[in-house]
Chain A
């Protein structure tokens, strides 16, 4: 059983799955646009949540948000469900495949055998599309891989019921209704407004621009508080979260910038291009920080590579981003 499904590789798994599922239903859209409309850009530094003994840093919105925001757009309907047992979950998946419906799944990464070792952590918010089954193997379009892959049923069942933070509970979804087209400019405005609100006005000081500043302040104190080795591990972890596959580089800032560039064409508005340039500048600044941090992690620090200098770079990122979001808020107000 195999559904004719076009696999297209993308940077981020959730936007990739979204784009591939919509393309299958005849609605073409770029990954960057899907990411922006779904308000995927985010920042949070939550040191009280630990991943592999290191604090949680995230540059993207919570898992499932992109899908949720698309499901709420007029004309879209998303069927989504979770399960209590792997048996039921796999049977429901097979039933949908038998109806020739490609199915999106949320899975853990650790149990997927086709993943390279370096990326197999207990991270449970991965997304992929199952588009067929051959014998005991599922045919999978995993958007971060260049080609479709295969996965034995037992491993997929395990991955769907991975446990720990963000446990997927066998979550699966597919679009039951997709319009031939939708008001992209209006959806873009709504996505932008949501992104700017969370980045600027979160009451919680560890989220958004405030969170970036908080990370900058904390980072400065790491060598004193944690000692050289632990500090380097924390630093490496931040860089990995920022640049690891899925982010498209610069902690999703480059992808968001691509979204703004596309938006300026869609809404025929030059002002968005200026904001895109600011976000690109922010992404560059994040990358400068990553380069310096990686040198420190490798014990190849050059003169001037200090935690203070990195903290300064992060504060610079916060300043550039804050300005960009404020400009976007003003743009939204003027246009309304």
Chain B
């Protein structure tokens, strides 16, 4: 159990060694190196599980035709329509419309390119719809289950 947890944590923070402050024997507080405190790893894990769930849900929504694949990419990049509007220099209303397949499927290539550049994928890929399964490069990319 401990082993699988350790792998999960390494996958999340790439084993990043951070600095935290702790008491030494004389009672002085000093900076020490550590690779994470278990409760923090637990809550980080919880946060990523939540994001994965959101992504899985978004995938379903898009697959069922209730939203365009822009919606999926938006969720993968942890954005909401308002943030996406600012990044793509458009009004939120425009973005909300583009989240619907009817409008999104009629977008000219130039407009698609704006989104493609933002999400670092090819415009063609946006046109094709949902990416296979691994998700675009910015996605968490973690296996959905890692044993704990």
| A residues at B contact (CB < 8 Å) | 9-11, 31-32, 52, 110, 116-119, 121-122, 144-146, 163-164, 232-233, 236-237, 239-240, 243-245, 247-250, 254-255, 257-258, 261, 276, 280, 290-291, 293-295, 297-298
Which one of A32, A110, A237, A293 contacts B21 once the chains associate, using CB atoms below 8 Å?
A: A32
B111 at the interface (CB under 8 A from A): no
Complex Cα distance A52/B30, Å? 33
Listed A/B pairs (7) with beta-carbon separation below 8 Å: A116-B16, A117-B14, A117-B141, A164-B86, A236-B42, A294-B38, A298-B42
Smallest beta-carbon distance B113→chain A, Å: 16
Q: Is the interface of B mostly helix, strand, loop or mixed?
A: mixed
Q: Which of B15-49 contact A (CB under 8 A)?
A: 16-23, 28-31, 33, 37-40, 42-44, 46-48
Q: In the complex the two chains form, is B78's CB within 8 Å of A52's CB? A: yes
B50 at the interface (CB under 8 A from A): yes
Which one of A9, A116, A144, A237 contacts B14 once the chains associate, using CB atoms below 8 Å?
A: A116
Q: In the complex the two chains form, is B47's CB within 8 Å of A249's CB? A: no
- Which residues on the B side are within 8 Å of A290 (C-beta)? 39-40
Smallest beta-carbon distance B48→chain A, Å: 6
Q: In the complex the two chains form, is A236's CB within 8 Å of B19's CB? A: no
Q: In the complex the two chains form, is A240's CB within 8 Å of B142's CB? A: no
- Which residues on the A side are within 8 Å of B18 (C-beta)? 11, 144, 245
Contact with A along B40-81 (1 / 0, CB 8 A): 101110111011000000000000000000000000011100
Given A243-B37, A244-B40, A254-B21, CB of A236 within 8 Å of CB of B46: yes
- Which residues on the B side are within 8 Å of A245 (C-beta)? 16, 18
Smallest beta-carbon distance B135→chain A, Å: 12
Complex Cα distance A258/B24, Å? 11
A-B contact count (CB 8 A): 120
- Which residues on the B side are within 8 Å of A248 (C-beta)? 19-21, 31
Complex Cα distance A163/B118, Å? 12
Given A163-B87, A236-B46, A248-B19, CB of A243 within 8 Å of CB of B39: yes
Complex Cα distance A293/B37, Å? 14
Complex Cα distance A160/B11, Å? 27
B140 at the interface (CB under 8 A from A): yes
